[in-house]
Structure formats: C-alpha cells, structure tokens
C-alpha cells in the first residue's frame, strides 16, 4: 500500500462521486479534452481526494504488449519490482509516464510504465505454466500485495489508466491527457466515504483490459471478496470497487459468460421478477442466481465498465445512483448528470436514463457500415446494444 500523503483535509461533507464515459463505435480516436470537460462539470460531486481516467486505443504501436502503469513510493520499491519484471517478462520499452506538475498536484509517487510480455522461461516457477493473461493477473496481485511501496494500476493491452489524488480536471492536466488519444474514455470524480484518499485508491480500477469507475457503495463487499478468494484473487487494496473488476474478469474471461449475462449476475433480477418470466428464461435466471449468488452486488451503485470491444453502464437494482446516456452519430456518452453530456454534445440525437438493473451495452463495430439506433427500443427496454 502506498504511503504517500496528500494535502487534503479528511473532514468533508458526504456527497456522491461522478462518472463519465465516451465511446466512438468505429474506434475513431479523440484526445482527452472532451472527457475532461464532461467530468469537470461534475466538480461538486467530488472533494479532491481522487480523480482518474481510462483510455482505450492509446498505445497502437504497442498493441500486442501489456502496458503496465506502476506507482512507486521510492526507488527501492522500483528496483525490487523491476527485478521481478526482468526475471519474468520481456520488456520492449520502459519510461516515466509523462506528467506536468502544477500548483494543484506537485506531490506524487514515482510513475513509470512498461510495455512487455511474459517470458516462456519465467523465473517464477509457481506460475510458469499459466497462460499469459493468467500470469499477468497473478503478477499484478503479487506485486500489489507483497511488494511494499509498489502498485500496478494498469496492465492491459492498448489501454491505460491515469489517476491520482486531486480533482479529475487537475489529474487530466497533470497527465497531459490533451496529448493522449483513444476511441473510448471513462472518467471518475471521487468522494471517498469508507476508504482513504490515496493515489492507488482513485478510480478507475483495472485488471488486464477491464476497467471500472464506480459511484456508490458495495455493501456485499465481504461476501464478494470471500467468493473471489476461492478463485485465487488477492484483494490487497481494501476497497469495494476492486471486487467489481475482479468479478467481471472471473465471469467473462475465466468462465466465458457473455457481457450481458455477466451484468445480469452483478445486478440480478429479484426472485419475484424471475417468477413472472417465461419458463426458459426463468430457468436461466434462476440458475444464474443459484450459481453466482455470491457475485451479486448489493448496495447503491452506478458503474461504467470498459473493455476493448465496448462500454457498459449499469445501475443497482433499485437505481439509487444517477446515470444518464446520450448518443450523437457514432458517439455514445454516459454520465452521472445530463449536463455533462450536453457540455460536450449540445444537441444529442437522444438522451435517456436507464432503468434500474438493466445495462446499457455499447459495442464497437468492425466495418464502416452505418449503425442505426432504434430509439423506440431504448424507451421500451432501456438497453442499447450496438453490434
């Protein structure tokens, strides 16, 4: 756990976090100006104890390599971690993450990034037979739990997380995100209530290509944590948001569930709703509740989930946190407040608020064919699936 102190008072009024997301379904890249404007409009939803961004498509020249973003307390932590990397990974490139110090953010950890892939002859024999993705997961968890003063905060391919202690607009300036381009962006403005404000505790939380930004509280954290530990996930960061990223890795990557079905595990329908379903559907949702009951998220939440092929927005089952969506051409926007969408898209084609527990799923397209958006379908099902 990083020991770096911040300059903010721990006395605060309780409020809500802020979320934003932007995706271009044709994977046309844009810089960080719009996401910064959108999340800056939600300034009052945070208190300066955490801001961050995830961007997809930002490392096209290293798209086949894992991009590790790492925070270090000191050079000793960096040296120890790099020794592990050298023994277990082929490092194609490493460098300091570009930053611009300002009066608002001038005290920070050592920030470094590595573009690499696992060796076939790894020194870590305990995990030597694992596939690359599994080995990366084990390496991230090993470093975060056992290497004092080191924290891997991003480990995916052609994507990266940029986060820290501060308001998100200041974090964007600190990392110079106007010089970074991607086809999908998510952003978070943090107001911590149960966990401290520290650089690693800012959102998004990531693992491999998955990223999560979250507004709310996961009251089922203890159950979720124990469930994940059965599958050898090590939750070292002591924050409820961490479980969401790991549950989705388990459900989608390890167990092979489709994204939509995984969302129906996180925010499963109530049993009284399942009882009214058609027999085949009832059987499916009953099975999901029985098999993955410990992966259900309880408590008030709104999340934006990013992965290479799309973005998902999801509320809890009784919608205790705000979430709004809008579209304009090939762009879809998600935010805690409609004003954030209109700040960067003054005349969206359609704006709507998803129903409780029903995901908005936006998928990228592989062709240049125009994708039509069925607004009638949105009003009926409150679910947008572009494929």
CATH number at residue 371: 3.60.20.10
Q: Quick check: 127 and 135 in contact, CB under 8 A? A: yes
Domain span holding position 146: 60-91+104-157
Write the secondary structure of 26-52 as one string of H (helix), E (strand) and C (coil): CCCCEECHHHHHHHHCCHHHCCCCCEE
Residue 14, pLDDT score? 43
Query: Same structural domain for residues 179 and 212?
Result: yes
Q: What is the rounded CA–CA span in Å between residue 226 and residue 224?
A: 6
Residue 32, pLDDT score? 96
Query: Same structural domain for residues 151 and 165?
Result: no
Query: Same structural domain for residues 182 and 206?
Result: yes
Can you give the C-alpha Rg of the chain in angstroms? Answer: 20
Residue 216, pLDDT score? 85
Q: What is the rounded CA–CA span in Å between residue 206 and residue 215?
A: 15
Number of domains in the chain: 2
Looking at 157, 181, 202, the residue that finishes a domain is 157
Looking at 157, 172, 197, the residue that finishes a domain is 157
Give the chain's residues under pLDDT 70: 1-15, 193-196, 367-387
Q: What angle do CA 325, 327, 330 make, to 5 degrees?
A: 135
User: How many alpha carbons lie under 13 Å from residue 23 in its C-beta half-sphere?
Assistant: 28
| 98 belongs to a structural domain | no
**Residue matched to tokens 């979430």:** 323
Distances (CA, A) of 339 to 39, 167, 170, 268, 373: 10, 18, 20, 30, 22
Give the model confidence (pLDDT) of 191-248 as tens digits. 776 666 778 888 999 999 999 999 988 899 999 999 999 999 998 877 888 899 999 9
Q: How many residues in the chain?
A: 387
The catalytic site residues sit at: 17
Exposure b/e, 291-328, CB count within 10 A at least 16 = b: ebeebbbeebbbbbbbbbbbbbbbbbbebbbbbbbbbb
| 355 belongs to a structural domain | yes
Q: Max Cα separation, the chain?
A: 61
| 6 belongs to a structural domain | no
Query: Same structural domain for residues 144 and 114?
Result: yes
- Structure tokens, 121: 């002859």
Query: Same structural domain for residues 229 and 284?
Result: yes
Residue 6, pLDDT score? 42
Query: Same structural domain for residues 44 and 132?
Result: no
Query: Same structural domain for residues 246 and 308?
Result: yes
Closest C-alpha to 32, from 11, 57, 12, 8: 57
Residue 2, pLDDT score? 47
**Residue matched to tokens 């953010």:** 105
- Structure tokens, 83: 């020794």
Residue 195, pLDDT score? 67
């Amino acid at each position: 756990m990083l020991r770096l102190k911040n300059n903010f008072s721990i006395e605060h009024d309780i409020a809500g976090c802020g979320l934003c997301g932007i995706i271009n379904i044709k994977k046309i890249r844009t810089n960080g100006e719009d996401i910064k404007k959108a999340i800056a409009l939600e300034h009052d939803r945070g208190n300066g104890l955490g801001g961050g961004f995830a961007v997809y498509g930002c490392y096209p020249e290293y798209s086949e390599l894992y991009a590790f973003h790492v925070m270090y307390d000191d050079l000793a932590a960096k040296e120890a971690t790099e020794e592990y990397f050298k023994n277990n990974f082929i490092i194609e490139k490493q460098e300091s993450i570009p930053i611009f110090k300002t009066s608002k953010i001038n005290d920070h950890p050592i920030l470094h990034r590595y573009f690499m892939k696992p060796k076939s002859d790894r020194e870590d024999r305990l995990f030597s037979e694992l596939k690359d993705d599994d080995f990366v997961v084990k390496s991230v968890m090993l470093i975060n739990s056992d290497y004092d003063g080191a924290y891997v905060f991003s480990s995916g391919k052609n994507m990266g997380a940029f986060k820290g202690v501060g308001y998100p607009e200041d974090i964007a300036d600190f990392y110079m995100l106007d010089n970074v381009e991607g086809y999908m962006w998510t952003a978070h403005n943090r107001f911590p209530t149960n966990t401290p404000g520290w650089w690693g505790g800012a959102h998004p939380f990531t693992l491999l290509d998955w990223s999560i930004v979250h507004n709310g509280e996961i009251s089922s954290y203890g159950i979720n944590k124990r469930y994940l530990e059965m599958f050898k996930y090590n939750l070292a960061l002591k924050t409820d948001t961490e479980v969401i990223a790991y549950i989705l890795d388990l459900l989608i990557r390890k167990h092979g569930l489709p994204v939509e079905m995984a969302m129906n595990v996180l925010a499963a329908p109530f049993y009284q709703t399942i009882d009214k379903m058609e027999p085949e559907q009832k059987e499916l949702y009953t099975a999901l509740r029985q098999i993955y009951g410990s992966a259900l998220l309880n408590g008030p939440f709104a999340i934006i989930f990013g992965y290479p092929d799309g973005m998902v927005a999801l509320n809890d089952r009784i919608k205790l946190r705000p979430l709004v969506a809008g579209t304009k051409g090939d762009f879809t926007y998600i935010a805690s407040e409609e004003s954030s969408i209109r700040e960067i898209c003054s005349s969206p084609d359609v704006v709507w608020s998803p129903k409780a527990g029903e995901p908005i799923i936006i998928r990228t397209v592989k062709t240049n064919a125009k994708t039509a958006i069925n607004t009638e379908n949105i009003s009926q099902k409150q679910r947008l699936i572009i494929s």
